[in-house]
Amino acid sequence: ELTRRLNSALRDLRGRGKLSEKIVDEALRDVRRAMLEADVNYQVAKDFIRRVREKAIGQEVLKSVRPAQVVVKIVHDELVQLLGGEASTLDLSSSGSTVIMLVGLQGSGKTTVAGKLALHLRSRGKKTLLVAADVYRPAAGDQLSLLGEQIQVPVYVASGKKPVEICAKAKERARREGIDAVLLDTAGRWHIDKEMMQELVDIRRKVAPDEILLVADAMTGQEAVNLAKEFDALLDLSGVVLTKMDGDARGGAALSLRAVTGKPIKYVGMGEKLDALEPFYPDRMASRILG
């Protein structure tokens, strides 16, 4: 789609061996528009375009190739490099129980991701424990308990206790019972809610999770940058899970999250069922963002 649009935009600009500034700027105007339409953050898109511009100007254009194709290839490759990096797996290397904490905004899909990760781990032979650390949302404990039942993973629910204590007690129980992986499902919250963010900081200090994953909706708009910055600054995230990727959101938030935190996107949610968890593929994401 982008290549087609660029081909028509650059139709009359035949590159003579090298990409001129004029051709590159013309092409990048369309690329920038595509990225903003895909929800890439305004500033992130600006920085990205500037980097690509430097790489593109002066690039060789073979006789058989159109200038648009060269620009799109440079953009696509740069996007893949930015999105990619380390492998998308959980760090299960710690001896004893691996504690994985899930955080994010309201309704982003944390509880469902907890269930998905639990199923994923249990099917790899890991003794897993789900922990209901959301004491605010009506029936949050019931929701997680039902998910645990569906996949035969025990769920730790302690009504009346505070989240920090719940997580601490769960970790103790995990150590006693030789549990391999503990998944802490926390309540959705704003990155600007000082009290609720402090609660996450307290859990982290008390329990020292091996992984802190930001669960973010693939359709998040421009604010992806601010929420990522804040969660990462306070918690030093180990990775991101992008949910609801089975929809038609272009997912530019992925680039924003990655650009702002530098942390890897480890998994994507591809549906409501607990088996709908897939590894993150940077090249597929790049094509999706560019449309």
Partner 1 sequence: VRGHGCLDAELLEQMEEILIRGDVGVETTAKLLEGLKEKSRAAGQLKPGQILAILRQQIEEILGDERSKESSLPLSSTPHVILVAGVNGTGKTTSIAKLAKIYLDRGRTVLLASCDTFRAAANEQLEIWARRLGVGMVKNQPGADPAAVAFDALRAAQARGIDVLIIDTAGRLHTKSTLMEELKKIKRVIGKQIQNGPHETLLVLDATVGQNAISQARLFHEALGLSGILLAKLDGTAKGGIVIAIKDRLNIPVSYIGIGENLDDLERFDVGKFVGALFS
Torsion of CA 244, 249, 253, 254, to 10 degrees: 60
Quick one: 17 or 221, whose CB is closer to partner 1? 221
Joined tokens for residue 198? 């402090």
| Contact residues for 192 (Cβ-Cβ < 8 A; gap 6+) | 230
Binders of ligand GTP among residues 256 to 285 (CB under 6 A) are 269-272, 276
Binders of partner 1 among residues 139 to 178 (CB under 8 A) are 139, 142-143, 145-147, 150
Q: How far is the CB of 275 from ligand GTP (least distance, A)?
A: 11
Out of 16, 22, 33, 50, name the contact with partner 1 by CB under 8 A: 33
What does the alpha-carbon distance between residue 59 and residue 68 come to, in Å, rounded to a whole number?
12
Out of 67, 84, 188, 209, name the contact with ligand GTP by CB under 6 A: 188
Long-range contacts of 204-207 (CB under 8 A, 24+ apart): 204/101, 204/235, 206/164, 206/167, 206/168, 207/99, 207/101, 207/167, 207/168, 207/171
Does 107 sit near ligand GTP (CB under 6 A)?
yes
Q: How far is the CB of 213 from Mg ion (least distance, A)?
A: 14
Out of 98, 111, 256, 261, name the contact with ligand GTP by CB under 6 A: 111
Residue 192: how many other CB atoms lie within 10 Å: 10
What does the alpha-carbon distance between residue 277 and residue 104 come to, in Å, rounded to a whole number?
17
Region of 224 (left: φ > 0; alpha: ψ -120 to 50; beta: rest) is alpha
Quick one: 148 or 239, whose CB is closer to partner 1? 148
Q: Is 176 helix (H, G, I), strand (E, B) or coil?
A: helix
Out of 97, 111, 128, 261, name the contact with Mg ion by CB under 5 A: 111
Q: Is 265 helix (H, G, I), strand (E, B) or coil?
A: strand
Identity of the residue numbered 247? G
Does 207 sit near partner 1 (CB under 8 A)?
no
Quick one: 105 or 174, whose CB is closer to partner 1? 105
Does 112 sit near ligand GTP (CB under 6 A)?
yes
Q: How far is the CB of 261 from ligand GTP (least distance, A)?
A: 19
Binders of partner 1 among residues 226 to 265 (CB under 8 A) are 226-227, 244, 246-250, 252-253
Q: How far is the CB of 143 from Mg ion (least distance, A)?
A: 7
User: In this structure, what are the phi and psi dihedrals at residue 106, rounded to the nearest 5 degrees?
Assistant: -60, 130
Q: What is the DSSP letter of 38?
A: T
Task: Summarize as ranges the residues that interact with Mg ion (CB under 5 A).
Answer: 110-111
Task: Give the footprint of partner 1 on this chain (CB under 8 A).
Answer: 33, 36-39, 41-42, 105-109, 136-139, 142-143, 145-147, 150, 190-192, 217, 219-223, 226-227, 244, 246-250, 252-253, 272
Binding site for ligand GTP (CB under 6 A): 104, 106-112, 134, 137, 187-188, 243-244, 246, 269-272, 276
